[in-house]
Structure formats: structure tokens, C-alpha cells
Amino acid sequence: MDDTATVPEAPRPDRRARVRARVVTYGLVGVLVVGALAKVEVWPLTSFHLFSAVRTGTSVGLELVAVADDGSRAPVVLDPAHPVLVTTAHEFGDLPGATPADQRRMVAAWLDAAHVDPADVSAVRLERVHRLADPDGVWHEDARELVTEVRP
């Protein structure tokens, strides 16, 4: 843990100080190790999976698409200038499992975050998009499938 020098031995710390030091240090390190090995994700306790999976030239993502009465489609793009709302895109995958009432509330919130008037939208589709990269690393859409559809 530390470099040491040839010096006279320091006074032995009192028992309470030793116990406190050990409980905090080994306790916190132990919790971090167990949390990481058990894949616990209760922030700030996390399993520290940062880019741990191998990326390839294929990718799969979820997208919301707003469909108007005339059938025209437009992607629901959450405001990139709003760092809190834009990250709620990570919750797109929760939409199919939500209750119908929550699905409508979630879709309404995302339309609002994308500055889209719900009056102009007849349905919001959650779609799974498969992409492939060409040899130069430019991504192209390969396939798209409907996951669920919500009427706001």
C-alpha cells in the first residue's frame, strides 16, 4: 500500500482507530468487490462494466417513430441540448413492459422532450433497428422491426 522507510517504529494506533480504519477500508473495498462480481447496479454501487463487451460492425438499437394521421413518419429525437431528458432514451426498452397508462405517459413525455406536438401524432412506434457498417466504418440501416405501438 505504501512505501516504507527505515525509521523508528511509529506509536501503535489505539484500538478504536484501528477498528475504524479496518471497517471503513476493508468494508468498502469488500462491498465494491462483491458488487462488481455479483453484477449489482445500485448506483453508486456498480459492477463497473464500462465498454466491457466487444463491439463489432453490427449494432442494434431502439428508436421511437412518430406516425401522423396521413401515415407520414418522423423519428422522435430527444432534445440533445437537455442532458437529463436525452439520456431517458435508455428507457425505450422499458416501454413494452409498462402498463398501457404508463406507456401513454412515457410516450407523451418523450414527445414533449422532442418538442413534438402530440396533436400531430396518431401513434408512436418503438422500432428495433439493425445497422451494418461498411469497410470504411460508415453505418447503414439493415433491417427494422416493430416492437410495440402506443397511441398517445
Partner 1 sequence: MSAIVRGVDRALLAAGEASRLVEVRTLVALVIGLRLATRDWTLVADRPAVLTSNLTVMSWLPAPLPASVLVALQVAGLAAVALVVAGRAPRAGFVVAWSAYLVLTALWGSSGKVMHNDVLTVLVGLVLVLGPVPPRRGTGRVPDDARWGWPPRAALAVIAVVYLFCGVQKLRVSGISWVTSDNMRWVMLQGTSPFGDGFTHAVANLPLLPSLLAAGALLLELSAPVWLAVRVARIPFAVSVAVMHTSIWAFLGLDYSAWVLTVAAVAVPLGLPRGLRLLDVRARHVPTILGISHPARRTGTPAPTTVGV
CA-CA distance, 139 to 149, in Å (whole number)? 26
Nearest approach, Cβ of residue 96 and partner 1 (Å): 14
Q: How far is the CB of 49 from partner 1 (least distance, A)?
A: 5
Distance CA 87, CA 78 (A): 9
> Scanning residues 74 to 133, which ones bind partner 1 (CB under 8 A)?
82-85, 87-91, 93-94, 102, 105-106, 109-110, 133
Using CA atoms of 103, 104, 106, 107 in order, give the dihedral in degrees to the nearest 10.
Answer: 110
**Nearer to partner 1 (CB atom), residue 70 or residue 117:** 117
Nearest approach in angstroms of CB 103 to partner 1 is: 9
State how far the Cα of 22 lies from the Cα of 16, in Å rounded to an integer.
10
| Alpha-carbon torsion (41, 105, 96, 120), positive or negative | negative
Segment 19 to 58, residues that bind partner 1, using CB under 8 A? 20-22, 24-25, 28-29, 32-33, 36, 41-57
DSSP of 99-135: -HHHHHHHHHHHHHHTT--GGG-SEEEEEEEEEEE-T
| Site residues, partner 1 (CB under 8 A) | 1-5, 7-8, 10-11, 13, 17-18, 20-22, 24-25, 28-29, 32-33, 36, 41-57, 59, 82-85, 87-91, 93-94, 102, 105-106, 109-110, 133, 136-137, 139
